[in-house]
Amino acid sequence: MTALTVLAVTSEIYPFIKTGGLADVTGALPLALRRHGVTTVTLVPGYPAVMKAIAQSDRVLAFDDLFGGSASVLRANSAGLDLLVLDAPHLFDRPGNPYTGPDGGDWPDNAFRFGALAFAAARIALGDIAGFVPDVVHGHDWQAGLAMAYLAYQERPRPATVLTVHNLAYQGQFPPDLLERLALPPQALSIDGVEAYGMISFLKAGLQFADRITTVSPTYAQEIQGPENGCGLDGLLRARSSDLSGIRNGIDTDVWNPETDPRIASRFGLATLPDRAPNKAALQQRFGLAPNPDALLFAVISRMAWQKGLDLLADAVPALVAHGAQLAVLGTGEPDLERRLTTLAGEHRGQVGCIVGYDEDLAHLIQAGTDALLVPSRFEPCGLTQLCAMRYGAIPVVAKVGGLADTVADLGQGSLQATGFQFSPVTREALEAALRRAANVWSDRPAWQALQSNAMRADVSWDEPAGEFLRLYAGLLASKN
């Protein structure tokens, strides 16, 4: 098979701009695909952080008027990634979060910001950059969804298209009167086009028009075809079930490597597990927890949101501290949850600590120092923190949903390769039972160390998923020829 070229389209990419796991995926997958002979060029908005990172670049495409202003596409290479950067200052040259303004609300022109990203992607896909015609356009989440529609509503030959859904709950919905301003034809505003429930839906556009749809775990691919997790799009997903598959995420095992990680207090590996202890001590100090190496330390790295089940964790804190355990929470999100968790930290000083915000260095220290990582999500497309935890010998305690169910093998299921604890249903009672199970195993250190050994040996890399993407691309191109 000849070498493949992929145009990836994403609203964020590590290490340049990150709000969550999407950036980790879009930053790591191209590197993994390269090892399988696939060349990936990634189109990303020209946010200030991205523009700062590309010191040297070539202008390869220009727009006189791209939804309200002139714009260029710059080609650059940084951090080993081949990038196309949409330099549109009227859309992206603003501080802070890529999606929300200083008041915390969405930028009012997000339809045009990510419509522009998708429009540029379609132009590039059709060969408007000299010498570059991708075989596959691979869009990520709703911000890239409209690219599939732009490509569908034209008569020129186009590349194959794939849309990966990282979280179906975020759909990019905008008023229907924007249709013409988004350069979409009148017929697009229909049930067979970009319309969903009377709105223009960028994600619906991608799901409607992409040749293949993937999501980030096999279980989530099944869950979103039902009404409970389908977010109003389950009917379309069932109709396209033959084109839908789940490919689990991986992590960049070079970035997440406890033997070489510069962000942790003490490097260690499976053969040097005692060297892990200084990380726990540093973590306890950072969160104001009692310096007790024998206390079972649970941790959370999460958006503070209903989806993530942190309200259930707050309810379960009394049971957790009753076991003599400790809890460290890092995250930001819904103000009510932030207040509740910081209040609990004040009420249980020495046993519960909470830091509101996000800190990449601290996230690494948490994985290296905590004994167990809690992920009590009500739904979780894949999740990356549990994969990082296993790599660092932290035992995941997870809800049995989505990618958490696919990636953590439960000790109670009799598996010799158990890597953690699952609980179901997603209730406070079931979570408390899982905490109790973990505390019981913690009291048997050889059993706990066996879990750690299994977890650290598990393959959480991108190698296998990248191979699945290669087969998906190749099969798609074969079916189009």
CATH of domain 270-457: 3.40.50.2000
Instruction: Report the pLDDT value the prediction gives residue 155, as an integer from 0 to 100.
Output: 86
The angle subtended at Cα 201 by Cα 139 and Cα 16, nearest 5°, is 40
Within the chain, all domains assigned CATH 3.40.50.2000 are found at 4-250+463-480, 270-457
Residue 436 · residue 442 · CB < 8 Å:
no
CA distance 263 to 360: 9
| Section 36-41 average pLDDT | 96
* 55 confidence band (pLDDT: 50, 70, 90): confident
User: How does 163-192 read in b/e, with b if 16+ C-beta sit within 10 Å?
Assistant: bbbbbbebbbbbeeeebeebbbeeebbeee
Are the C-beta atoms of 115 and 148 separated by less than 8 Å?
Answer: no
pLDDT band at 44 (very low <50, low <70, confident <90, very high): very high
**Mean per-residue pLDDT over the chain, rounded:** 96
Burial (CB count within 10 angstroms: exposed 0-12, middle 13-18, buried 19+), residue 437: middle
pLDDT at 222: 97
**How does pLDDT run across 193-245, given as a tens digit for each residue?**
999 999 999 999 999 999 999 999 999 999 999 999 999 999 999 999 999 99
CA-based nearest residue to 370, from 268, 453, 271, 300 = 300
- Check if the beta carbon of residue 268 is closer than 8 Å to that of residue 275: yes
pTM of the predicted structure, to 2 decimals:
0.93
CATH 3.40.50.2000 fits 4-250+463-480, yes or no: yes
% residues pLDDT > 70 (the chain): 99
* pLDDT tens-digit series, residues 130-174: 999 999 999 999 999 999 999 999 988 999 999 999 999 999 999
**pLDDT average, residue stretch 456-462:** 97
How many C-beta atoms lie closer than 10 Å to residue 132's C-beta? 16
- Residue 480's pLDDT is what? 80
Q: What is the pLDDT of residues 67-104, one digit of tens each?
A: 999 999 999 999 999 999 999 999 999 988 999 998 88
Query: Residue by residue, what is the 3-state secondary structure of the chain?
Result: CCCEEEEEECCCECCCECCCHHHHHHHHHHHHHHCCCEEEEEEEECCHHHHHHCCCCEEEEEECCCCCCCEEEEEEEECCEEEEEEECHHHHCCCCCCCECCCCCECCCHHHHHHHHHHHHHHHHCCCECCECCCEEEEECHHHHHHHHHHHCCCCCCCEEEEEECCCCCCCEECHHHCCCCCCCHHHCCCCCCEECCEEEHHHHHHHHCCEEEECCHHHHHHCCCCCCCCCCHHHHHHCHHHEEECCCCCCCCCCCCCCCCCCCCCCCHHHHHHHHHHHHHHHHHCCECCCCCCCEEEEEEEECHHHCHHHHHHHHHHHHHCCCEEEEEEEECHHHHHHHHHHHHHCCECEEEEECCCHHHHHHHHHHCCEEEECCCCCCCCCHHHHHHHCCCEEEEECCHHHHHHCCEHHHCCCCCCEEEECCCCHHHHHHHHHHHHHHHCCHHHHHHHHHHHHHCCCCCHHHHHHHHHHHHHHHHHHC
